[in-house]
Chain A
């Protein structure tokens, strides 16, 4: 139907490898984001799915159809892949009015005039641009142009839609509005969407699953919750949300696993649980804990002590900096006792992840 499958997909420009061996199965009707910093390979991967760039190795399936295979020397050109695409810069043709822009894919397929009109008007109402048919792109705002681009991709009723950072050029408020609209349309029509973005909040808000990329490699594939609560490596932990990293040394003592801070071994050790890491309990680790998972308590209530160095009132939360030995961590508190800079506090780690 409208699954998309990537097998061993790579792309290199000469010596430079920009996409490294991606295996991915995108389910029918799924909203999947390619997320990552600039230069990680997400746009190149999208373009290979669209057919604008030729892979160096690997295969691409759209639906049941093999559209690209380096070994079998198969390459279906973009005009025959029946995917819809929305570009970052909208790519609306300046010499055609809104109606003609949106109708263009239908015109190519030689759709009858009546059917064309019906479908164009239907899709324009979906993106809330009814009444704008005769306007030209230069008479429209950025957000409106983006909606024309969206309508044009939708009118083909494609199985798969590819969106390349479509909201990057819009202001923050409009971006949030459009996020809901796009997600809403996707749910209603049931189209599979592959969405490229560098904005993690956007990816988290819209996606069923996220593929996080960095330096041409897949860092993690999972739901937003998976990536946030169970990051598989330090890059993922750092890229999504805020997090504190502390180097610790771990040793077994009396059937308990105890950790001390590498930079200040004089501070009392605290217990850690290594079950989920599947690693032996000796050696150095990186202790990763999110600011909201560090609880500040009166100094007597915890063996781990720190000193508050900074406190910022942000309305809904208090943003603390707390010195732990020689390190400083960030703590967010939304309730509970307040502490002042200079005060010694106890710390309790509610949830954390360990990396080797």
Chain B
């Protein structure tokens, strides 16, 4: 028996070591750091809850709240588009239209492009003068709609979200499609025989039976929305667009911790406190996710 344990440890310890060094340690270090003030080099000064005060009630409060609201907006729009559109497209693909297989692949392709590259690509597409988007609009006679999408307060954030949807939709379509195809065709045929039409079958049979998948995806979307950074950074930089209109907690953190043009003093401790804030939002939802997965595994 002790031999088995030794082998077990041999396999576990390297992984645990990596995990501890790269995940556990930085996590706790950040937590501790949030109670200090530290310009990145030199010594740390203990400041207690001062960082959090600055964030929530002090000079950063307005920016924090602004960024937070943007994350919420991200989440709501993503739910609507990724899950809503995802469901519609998955339904179409499930109904065995000709070319469904090809379309499935096409929908997924953007998902394979690294996020930063997506940001870069779309940065070019959205260029007001030479970008593809405005060129296309002019081509179909909608030139009046052509505008600097990323340069206007009203459109910047929504544009970034749409780019995100473009990139990730394929994934959600595939997951939802798998859930729909999981439903035994008998269940759907029985509904037809009982007189139900496509609309009724979609909402009374397919949706209830795929609901748990939507729930899981919604949780993942929540976690994603509050961790968002790459696309915003790639498209509008760390200054986060005109008047901080695309600022999210991720970019706020980056600015606060590492600085950027015109962002005031660099303070890693303050940055750390932003990450603590993000962590506090995301953690309960992550726990909920794990709980739901466990519950399903236990009853499976």
Task: Give A residues with C-beta under 8 Å from B.
Answer: 50-52, 77-85, 87, 89-91, 93-95, 104-105, 108-109, 149, 152-153, 156
Tell me if B26 counts as interface (CB < 8 A to partner A).
no
Instruction: Assess the A87–B190 pair: CB atoms within 8 A.
Output: yes
Q: Is the CB of B194 within 8 A of A105?
A: yes
- Could you tell me if A52 and B196 are in contact, using CB atoms closer than 8 angstroms? no
* List of B residues within 8 angstroms of A79 by Cβ: 192-197
Give which listed residue, A77, A95, A156, contacts B194 with CB less than 8 A: A156
Q: Please give me the residue from chain A that is nearest to B186 by CB atom.
A: A91
A108-B193 contact, Cβ under 8 Å, with A87-B186, A91-B184: no
Chain B contacts with A in 177-222, Cβ cutoff 8 A: 184, 186-187, 189-197, 200, 205, 208-209
- Chain B residues contacting A82 (CB-CB under 8 Å) are 195
| A87:B189 contact, CB within 8 angstroms | yes
Query: In the assembly, what is the distance between CA of A157 and CA of B222, in Å?
Result: 48
Q: CB distance A78 to B192 under 8 Å?
A: yes
Contact A93 B196 (CB under 8 A): no
- The residues of B that contact A108 with a CB separation of less than 8 Å are 194-196, 200
Rounded to whole angstroms, the CA-CA distance of A81 and B189 in the bound complex is 13
Q: With A89-B184, A89-B186, A94-B209 given, is the CB distance from A84 to B200 under 8 Å?
A: no
Residue of A nearest to B200 (CB): A108
Instruction: Given A89-B184, A89-B186, A91-B189, answer yes or no on A104-B209 (Cβ-Cβ < 8 Å).
Output: no
Q: Lowest 6 A-B CB distances belong to which pairs?
A: A91-B186, A91-B190, A105-B194, A108-B195, A78-B192, A85-B193
15 A-B pairs within 8 Å (CB atoms) are namely: A52-B189, A52-B192, A78-B189, A79-B192, A79-B197, A80-B195, A82-B195, A83-B193, A87-B189, A89-B186, A91-B190, A93-B205, A94-B209, A105-B195, A108-B194
Q: How far is the CB of A10 from chain B (nearest CB, A)?
A: 22
Q: Which residues of B, 110-157, contact A by the 8 Å Cβ criterion?
A: none
Q: How far is the CA of A85 from the CA of B186 in the complex (A)?
A: 11
Chain A residues within 8 Å of B193, by CB: 50, 78-79, 81, 83-85, 153
Least CB distance, A166 to chain B, in whole angstroms? 12
Closest to A50 in B: B193
- Chain B residue with minimal CB distance to A94? B209
How far, in angstroms, from A79 to B192 measured CA to CA in the complex?
Answer: 5
A52, closest chain B residue (CB): B189
A80–B184 CA distance with the chains assembled, in angstroms: 22
Interface hub of A80, A84, A108, A153 (most chain B Cβ within 10 A): A108
CA–CA, A153 and B190, complex, Å: 9
Q: Provide the residues of chain A in CB contact with B205, threshold 8 Å.
A: 93
- Contact among B189, B191, B197, B208 for A104, CB-based, below 8 A: B191
Q: Which residues of B contact A52 (CB under 8 A)?
A: 189, 192
How many Å from the CB of B245 to the closest CB on chain A? 43
* Cα distance, A89 to B190, chains bound together (Å): 11
A45, B142: Cα distance in complex, Å: 54
Q: Which residues of A lie under 8 Å from residue B195 when comparing CB positions?
A: 79-80, 82, 105, 108-109, 156
Cross-chain contact A104 with B184 (CB below 8 angstroms): no
Task: For B189, list chain A residues within 8 Å (CB).
Answer: 50, 52, 78, 85, 87, 91
| Chain A residues with CB below 8 A from B190, complex form | 85, 87, 91, 93, 149, 152
A82 to B184, CA, bound (A): 22
A79 to B205 Cα, complex, angstroms: 15
B 208-244 binary contact with A (CB < 8 Å = 1; else 0): 1100000000000000000000000000000000000
Question: Roughly how many angstroms separate A93 CA and B196 CA in the complex, as a whole number?
Answer: 14
A83-B193, A93-B205, A109-B195 given; 8 more Cβ-contact pairs under 8 Å: A78-B189, A79-B194, A85-B189, A93-B191, A108-B194, A108-B195, A108-B196, A156-B195
